A = this chain, B = another copy of it.
């Protein structure tokens, strides 16, 4: 055995972490083979795979994400674009998606668009620079430039919440539920309860809210009781306070309204509080329903009748679908409908 020769001083900085080269040396294979073995690429002898894995284990080797991204042109990042973080709906979506992605070794890069197509575009530009392995994006309403960015990037993409692209020839991939149907079912429930003057009150007015409204409209039309003056649309952000204001406006201007369908639970919760303050009986005088089954809706006075939306399951399923796409597997259902559930509590 040769004595230790003085190794030439390395000219450069080392990071101190265990590298693939050390693993391959320990396993007695080339770095190419070590790389292939570790990534589970077929075409490596089972015996070598074992040796490499053992060495990696022993040395506590962890691949360097930056080096991998640079060489493979794909990072282990997944970009997730959401409209807002102030709505628990999207936080639930994010957390579920992130958990699923993280379990497979992917890091979430989150972007908040504030319902602004310009901001979405800008975020897309920034995030795509990181060569994400995949993209999760809320809704299907994007600027032409955003669509082009997504297409050009060739990064697999799954849309959240909205099922189909109403326009556009390529439906792409999505996980969500039928918003219009949910709106129609809730309205049908109110009709069956005997209500005839059913108002629809909405804020934020994103695409999904409008789909809910179209469901409300068609249900009322089918029943022959549709009144277009019972639409209350406010583009402002949804909040308890706004719900209270809208409620007071509606009961004041249209005292004959016998039920109000709020497009989101926070509005409905605010309405319930306003009713309490003004001594208006719910549902006796006017029924109130919401949408999403957010925190606190089971605690309100009276407890809120609403539509429970499966956002955690949507986040998880979308992440799962994306993971498949990243591996090149086409999902058996490109548009995955996870449904919804009407929760009848005391307010209607």
Point out residues on A near B: beta carbons under 8 Å: 13, 15, 62, 64-67, 69-70, 73, 75, 85-86, 88, 91, 94-95, 98, 102, 107-110, 112, 126-127, 129-131, 239-241, 244, 269-270, 273, 276-277, 295-296, 298-301
Contact = CB atoms under 8 A, between A and B. Distances in A.
A83 to B, nearest CB: 13
A88 B294 CA distance: 13
Contacts of A70: 64, 66-67, 70
Given A129-B65, A239-B295, A270-B299, A95 B112 contact: yes
List 3 tightest A-B contacts by C-beta distance, closest first.
A66-B69, A66-B70, A240-B299
8 contacts: A15-B73, A66-B131, A86-B91, A91-B91, A98-B110, A107-B130, A241-B298, A273-B299
Nearest to A99: B112
Q: Please state the number of chain copies in the assembly.
A: 2
Contacts of A85: 91, 94-95
Contacts of A296: 240, 269, 296
Contacts of A126: 102, 107
Given A73-B13, A108-B110, A129 B62 contact: yes
Given A85-B91, A107-B130, A299 B244 contact: yes
Contacts of A67: 66, 70
Given A86-B295, A270-B299, A276-B301, 9 more contacts: A15-B131, A62-B129, A67-B70, A70-B70, A107-B109, A239-B295, A240-B296, A277-B301, A296-B296
Contacts of A13: 73
Nearest to A109: B107
Contacts of A108: 109-110
Contacts of A64: 70, 129
Contacts of A112: 95, 98
